[in-house]
Amino acid sequence: MKITPNEYNEMTKKASPGTKSYKTIPMAFLIGGLICMAGEGLLNLYQYMGMSKDAAGAVTSITLIFVAALLTGLDLYNTIAKYAGAGTLVPITGFSNGVVSPALEFKSEGYVLGLGAKLFVIAGPVIVYGISASIIYGIILYLFKLY
C-alpha cells in the first residue's frame, strides 16, 4: 500500500485518541508545579542546615535526581508520567528518568554497550547541545569582553 505523508497524517489522526488538552495542560501545570515547590522546599531546608545558596542548589538537584531515579527503578515514575505528561518531563526529575529508563531497558544487551551506552540516549543530546550552546555563549562573552 502506497500512501503519501499527508494521507499518513490523516490516518494517524484517526487512529490516535484525541489529546484532551483541557486535561493534559492543567495536569502538567499541577504536577510540574508541585515538583518545583518540592525543590524550593529542599533549597530552603539545605540553606537552613547551613549550606551556601550554590551548594544548596546543587544538593537539591542531586536529591531530586536520586528520588526520580529510584522511582523509575520501582516503575512508579512512568506511572505518574502517564498522567502528568510534561509535568514530569520538564523538571530535572524528567532528565533523571531519561537516564535510568533506557539504561534499565537495555541492560539485557550488556553492561557496556547496553546499560552504559543507552544511559545516554536522552542525556547525551541534552549534554551535547546544552554544553555546545554554553561554549558558544562563552566565546561571544570573551570576544566582546562582556564578562
Partner 1 sequence: MEIFKEYMWAFVVGGLFCAVGQVLIDYTKLTPARILVAFVIAGVILGGIGVYEPLVELAGGGATVPLTGFGYLLAKGVKEAVAEKGLLGAITGGFTAASAGLGAAVFFGLIIALIFKQKDKV
Interacting positions 58-77 with partner 1 (CB under 8 A):
58-62, 64-66, 69-70, 72-75
**Least distance to partner 1 from the beta carbon of 141, Å?**
5
Query: Which of 41, 52, 109, 113 is in the footprint of partner 1 by CB under 8 A?
Result: 41
> Which triple of cell numbers denotes residue 109?
544487551
At CB < 8 A and 24+ separation, what contacts does 14-17 make? Answer: none
Handedness of CA 124, 28, 57, 138 (dihedral sign): positive
* 46 is a contact residue toward partner 1 (CB under 8 A): no
Q: Shortest Cβ distance from residue 98 to partner 1 (Å)?
A: 7
- Return the C-alpha cell found at 68: 526520580
Q: Which of residues 87-126 bind partner 1 (CB under 8 A)?
A: 87, 89-96, 98-100, 103-105, 107-108, 115-116, 119, 121-123, 125-126
Total of residues contacting partner 1 (CB under 8 A): 78
Among 85, 110, 112, 113, binds partner 1 (CB under 8 A): 85
